Amino acid sequence: MKERNSSTTLELVDPSLFMLACGQTAVLTQGGQARMSEKCISFPTTDLNVHIPTTPELYPTTTGSSLWSDKFQWLPCEVKFSEDEGKELRITSCINNLHPKYTQAYASIETLISLSLEPWNDVLKKGTTSRYPLRIKTFGFEAIEPDEIWGPCEPYVWKNKLPGRICTQEAWDDYYVKAKEYLTLPKIDPKYRIQHQDPWGPQDEPEDILGSIAPSMYESWESEDLWEKRIGWKWERLHTFKYPEAGASYSYEDWKRGKTAKPFIDRSKDRGDSPHADNVCQSISLQDDFREQGLQIIVRVSTIDLTPENTSYQEDDDFHVDGLLNEHIVGVARYYYDVENFTDARISFQQEDDLNPFEFRLGVDAMNKIFGLPHFELGQPNPRKLQTLGSVRTNQGRFLAWSNSLPYKTRPFTLEDNSRPGHQRFISLYLVDPHYRICSTQNVPAQQHEEW
C-alpha cells in the first residue's frame, strides 16, 4: 500500500512499486517466462547493463524533463484470449504487486478487462484522422465594430470633420455634449468584448467612465486628451463579436454513412487549407486484431479515504495523462466499485485542439472566450490549446473509458455526513498499445522477497 498525491489517497495495487529499473531489475533470458502457475522460478537472469531502452529524440516539456524514461517502466501483465472468438480472456502473468493467490481478485479483473474492450474500441483511433465526422459544425464568429451598432459616433471623428479643424468654444461645446452621450451608451456583457482589461496592466481605467470626468474637463479643448483617453476605453468596451452559431450540418443518415463533404450551411470566408471531403469512419476491434498475440494491461487499485478529521479532497494538482511515452499507454478504463458517504465527486477532462490562436483575426482575448482556451499573452510562444470538456460523476458502479491523449483530473469533494468516514475505491486499467510489446511480468519474476 502506497500513499499518492494526497494524504487521503492510497494505492492498494501500485504499478510504481517494484517497477522495471532498467539495467538493474533481473529480466529472464533464453526464452524464460514467469508464469503464474509456477511456484519457483530459477531461470538465468540478465546482466545489469542490458534492457536499457534507447531514448528517442523528443521535445522537452515546459519543465525541461523528458516525457520518456530510460530508467524506469511500469510492468504490465500479459492477457490472452481464451477462445477463437469472443471477448473472454485470462491473465497469464502476474499483476505487478498483486499475488496470484488472490484468485477472486484476478477473476474480477479479467472480467473487467473483457468489459473494457468495446469501450476502448469506441475511443481509440488510428493515425490522425477522426474516428467520426463532426455531427454539428459552427461557423460565423466575427467582430462587430461599434459603428455597426451606434453609427459613426466616435467623438474623434467629429473633431476631424471640423472645418479647418477650428477649435472654437462653440465647437467644443458640441464636442463634449456628443462625447458625453457616447460615454452613456449602454453597457455590453464583457463576454462579448473582443479585448478585456488587462489585470496586470495600468489600473487607472474606472468602471464608471463618465463619473471619472472632473467638472473642469467640460470647459475647453485643453481637456481633449483626457476625454480621448476615456473615449478609447469606451470604444474597447463596445468593440464586440458574435459567438458562432450552430449550423444544420448534415442529416443524421448522411452522418452515419460518413457523407459529410458538403454541409447544409457552409462557412463564409473559408480560410481552410483543404477542400471538404467525406469522412472515412474507422473500425477498431482489439479482440479481432490482436487475438493471437494478446494484450498487455497495467493495473492500479486506489482508494480515497476521508474521515471526520479530514473531511475534504482538494482535487488533483493539475490535468495529466497516465504513464510516460516508454510505457505506450493508449487507453484507460476505470471502475468505481465501492463509494460511500461522498458528495458529488467528479472527474474532468481536457482536449488539445488543432488550431492556431494567432491566425484568427479576432485576437487572443476573443479566442479564449469562444473556444474556452486558457489565457495567454500575444507574444507567448507555443500557447497551450486546451479545452476543458466538462466533468462526469464518479458514483458507485460508474465505469469510464477514455483515450490516454485526454488529460484529466479528479475534482474536489467532501464527506456527505461529516460525523462518519467515507471512501471511494476504484480500479484503473491501462492498455499498452498492442502494436508494441514492452517488458512485462512475463519477463520479470516477482521482486518481492515474500513471493519467492
Reported as a single tens digit per residue, the pLDDT across 167-212 is 778 878 877 788 888 888 888 888 888 776 554 445 567 888 888 8
pLDDT at 208: 83
pLDDT at 249: 62
Instruction: Name the maximum alpha-carbon separation found in the chain.
Output: 104
pLDDT reading at 57 higher than 70? no
For residue 323, give the amino acid letter.
Answer: G
pLDDT reading at 147 higher than 50? yes
- Indicate if the alpha-carbon torsion angle 225, 226, 227, 233 is positive or negative: positive
For residue 183, how many other CB atoms are within 10 A of its CB? 19
Rounded Cα distance, 215 and 231, in Å: 17
Structural contact between residues 432 and 333, judged by C-beta atoms closer than 8 angstroms: no
Rounded Cα distance, 273 and 277, in Å: 12
pLDDT reading at 153 higher than 90? no
Helices (H), 127-223: 146-150, 155-160, 169-183
* Structure-block grid coordinates of residue 227: 476625454
Global confidence as pTM: 0.77
* Structure-block grid coordinates of residue 423: 471512501
Task: Give CA 328 to chain center in angstroms.
Answer: 18
- What's the CA dihedral at 139, 142, 144, 145 to 10 degrees? -160
With vertex at residue 195, the alpha carbon angle to CA 200 and CA 357, rounded to the nearest 5 degrees, is 95
Write the burial class of residue 253 (CB in 10 Å: 0-12 exposed, 13-18 middle, 19+ buried). Answer: exposed
Question: In this predicted model, which residue has the larger pLDDT, 30 or 168?
Answer: 168
For residue 162, how many other CB atoms are within 10 A of its CB? 13
Rounded Cα distance, 131 and 124, in Å: 8
Reported as a single tens digit per residue, the pLDDT across 112-128 is 999 999 999 999 988 77
Q: How confident is the model at residue 400 (pLDDT cuts 50, 70, 90)?
A: very high
Rg (CA), the chain: 31
Reported as a single tens digit per residue, the pLDDT across 283-311 is 889 999 999 999 999 999 999 999 999 99
Question: In this predicted model, which residue has the larger pLDDT, 129 or 121?
Answer: 121
Rounded Cα distance, 301 and 65, in Å: 27
* Per-chain mean pLDDT for the chain: 79
* Structure-block grid coordinates of residue 363: 485576437
Q: How confident is the model at residue 447 (pLDDT cuts 50, 70, 90)?
A: confident
Write the burial class of residue 415 (CB in 10 Å: 0-12 exposed, 13-18 middle, 19+ buried). Answer: buried
* Structure-block grid coordinates of residue 110: 479479467
pLDDT at 67: 83
pLDDT at 275: 55
The answer for 234, left when phi > 0, alpha when psi is -120 to 50, beta otherwise, is alpha
Rounded Cα distance, 186 and 238, in Å: 9
60's CB contacts (< 8 A; 6+ apart) are: 66
- Sheet strands side by side (includes 346-352): 386-393, 346-352, 408-410
Reported as a single tens digit per residue, the pLDDT across 225-266 is 788 788 888 888 888 888 776 665 667 777 777 777 665 544
Domain boundaries, the chain: 2-130+283-345+394-451, 142-242
Report the half-sphere exposure of 263 (CA within 13 A, side-chain side).
Answer: 17
Reported as a single tens digit per residue, the pLDDT across 32-51 is 677 776 554 445 455 455 56
For residue 440, give the amino acid letter.
Answer: S
